[in-house]
Amino acid sequence: MIKPFGSDKLNPLYVSDDAKREALIKEAEGLPSVVMSSAAAGNAVMLGSGYFNPLTGYMNLADSKSVAEKMQTTSGLLWPAPIVNVLKDVSAIKGAKRIALRDPNVEGNPVLAIQDVEAIEEASADDMKMITEKVFLTTDENHPGVAAFNSVGNFFVSGPIQVLSYSYFKTDFPETFNTAVELRDHIEKHGWKEVCAFQTRNPMHRAHEELVKMAMKEYNADGAIIHMLLGKLKPGDIPADVRDAAIRKMAELYFEPNSLEISGYGFDMLYAGPREAVLHAIFRQNMGATVLIVGRDHAGVGDYYGGFDAQAIFDEVPEGALDIKIFKGDHTVWCKKCKNVVMMRDCPHGKDDYIMLSGTKVREMLAAGQELPPEFSHPEVAHILMGYYKNSD
């Protein structure tokens, strides 16, 4: 199986020993505590799950700035975006060496992790602007990732953590949420050697389905993992439970049996386009995938990024830094002559024969109460999505 990123062995930070975890939960009640931002809580879940291997906790300001400027930590590890615990108010933990981090997304704010505090550093306005601009390629507050990053404060609390829960993800998505450790176990049980990973925050329409099948064919893959984001999204995106149901129906009816795993991870979307694509590659390698599918405008939003910027950024990744391979998808269209979804680069026909496919178009049609044509979505999948939009009116 492919090695984890940055180490020979996966290092999930979740405390799996029940007795140790209970002792830490008890200890946490006597520690100074803060309620984290949703983004920091998502980072803790990803660290606990092993997805952010080999990190041992939250980055300090120097590492955050280095990651933003050079796409590597001060020690030289490839990393595309800061993994941080940033707060507005640190008065409750001033001078503390060990603190409890409380979950903002669960009622009662239970303890999610314990952190050993190595530093509390105040980032300047220039620091925040530089990090924002480098990671998101814009400082426009209308960008949902920029707005989220700049809304949580400017005090960087760094240091290693011990993770005590997976927040709401295990309870709300018991069939779907998996850690990187669990997915490696699934791959091993299947006996898969070559594994494609498909990232999604949307339901999968026909173009997505064909991208997965094309990648599997190109790499002669034994299986694929549809890996959906389960955390916070921007307004207008389709909720995770609806996406999950639609994707499972597509997998059941239109993929070979035992060729697909449907899974999800606990993280808030960054909408950071190219930088987020590299982060996706890192944590898909950690979960055991050998190929990441990167399509048009991967992890993008609006028109902040070029259609293929998230593919081009991998040319900047140093040779050998990643073991996972990148399948670069072209524009996908329905070709009336081929009678199938095709990538434009592989099709001999012309634009007059094409129906353009996009997740945005699908959402617009659904929101308007329009039937999805079969070129966009299988009828069984469309039925689930249309049901959600009718019930949410």
Is residue 202 annotated as a catalytic residue, yes or no?
A: yes
pLDDT at 37: 97
Is residue 206 annotated as a catalytic residue, yes or no?
A: no
Q: Are 78 and 128 contained in the same domain?
A: yes
pLDDT tier at 387, thresholds 50, 70, 90 = confident
Asked if the structure places residue 86 within a domain, the reply is yes
Each residue of 192-227: pLDDT tens digit? 999 999 999 888 888 888 899 999 999 999 999 999
* Cis omega (within 30 of 0) for bond into 54: yes
Most confident of 45-59, 243-257, 330-344: 45-59
Asked if the structure places residue 41 within a domain, the reply is yes
Instruction: Give long-range contacts, CB 8 A cutoff, 24+ apart: 124-133.
Output: 124/154, 125/154, 127/61, 127/65, 127/154, 128/154, 130/65, 130/68, 130/69, 131/64, 131/65, 131/68, 131/82
Instruction: Name beta bridge partners: 35.
Output: 102
* Ranges of H-type helices in the chain: 18-28, 38-49, 61-70, 125-136, 144-149, 169-172, 180-190, 206-218, 240-254, 274-286, 309-312, 359-367, 379-391
Gap between the terminal Cα atoms of the chain: 47
Question: What is the Cα–Cα distance from 390 to 373, expressed in whole angstroms?
Answer: 17
Q: Say if residue 74's pLDDT is above 70.
A: yes
Amino acid at 92: A
Asked if the structure places residue 3 within a domain, the reply is no
pLDDT at 75: 97
Asked if the structure places residue 10 within a domain, the reply is no
pLDDT at 228: 93
Question: What is the Cα–Cα distance from 232 to 167, expressed in whole angstroms?
Answer: 13
pLDDT at 122: 98
**Pick from 201, 213, 46: which is nearest to 113 by CA?**
46
Asked if the structure places residue 4 within a domain, the reply is no
Q: Say if residue 392's pLDDT is above 70.
A: no
Q: Say if residue 99's pLDDT is above 80.
A: yes
Q: Are 203 and 116 contained in the same domain?
A: no
Q: Which of 53, 150, 178, 202 is catalytic?
A: 202
Q: Are 150 and 273 contained in the same domain?
A: no
Percent of the chain having pLDDT more than 70? 99
pLDDT at 347: 83
**Last residue of a domain, which of 126, 148, 167?**
167
Q: Tally the residues of the chain.
A: 393
**Pick from 242, 276, 221, 213: which is nearest to 366 by CA?**
242
What range does the domain containing 281 cover? 173-391
Most distant pair of Cα atoms in the chain: their distance: 69
Each residue of 295-350: pLDDT tens digit? 888 899 989 999 899 999 999 999 999 999 999 987 778 788 888 887 778 888 88
**Pick from 184, 190, 225: which is nearest to 204 by CA?**
225
| Domain containing residue 51: CATH number | 3.10.400.10
pLDDT tier at 357, thresholds 50, 70, 90 = low
| Domain containing residue 322: CATH number | 3.40.50.620
Q: Are 284 and 374 contained in the same domain?
A: yes
Chain Cα centroid distance, residue 161:
20
pLDDT tier at 356, thresholds 50, 70, 90 = confident
pLDDT tier at 371, thresholds 50, 70, 90 = confident
Angle (CA) 58 197 78, round 5°: 35
Asked if the structure places residue 252 within a domain, the reply is yes
Asked if the structure places residue 117 within a domain, the reply is yes
Q: Are 91 and 240 contained in the same domain?
A: no
Q: Are 84 and 201 contained in the same domain?
A: no
Tokens representing residue 98 in the block: 């060990």
Q: Are 145 and 253 contained in the same domain?
A: no
Q: Are 111 and 191 contained in the same domain?
A: no
Q: Are 26 and 159 contained in the same domain?
A: yes
Q: Which of 102, 105, 184, 201 is catalytic?
A: 201
pLDDT at 235: 75
**Last residue of a domain, which of 146, 167, 188?**
167
Number of structural domains the chain divides into: 2
pLDDT at 56: 98
Question: What is the Cα–Cα distance from 114 to 38, expressed in whole angstroms?
Answer: 16
Asked if the structure places residue 11 within a domain, the reply is no
Question: What is the Cα–Cα distance from 344 to 326, expressed in whole angstroms?
Answer: 19
355 in helix, strand or coil?
strand
Residue indicated by tokens 């999968």? 204
Q: Are 109 and 219 contained in the same domain?
A: no
What is the average pLDDT across 374-385?
85
Q: Say if residue 189's pLDDT is above 90.
A: yes
pLDDT at 53: 98
Tokens representing residue 35 in the block: 């309620």
Question: What is the Cα–Cα distance from 253 to 243, expressed in whole angstroms?
Answer: 16
pLDDT tier at 91, thresholds 50, 70, 90 = very high
Averaged pLDDT score across all residues of the chain: 93
**Last residue of a domain, which of 167, 194, 226?**
167
Q: Are 304 and 214 contained in the same domain?
A: yes
Q: Are 86 and 234 contained in the same domain?
A: no
Q: Say if residue 362's pLDDT is above 80.
A: no
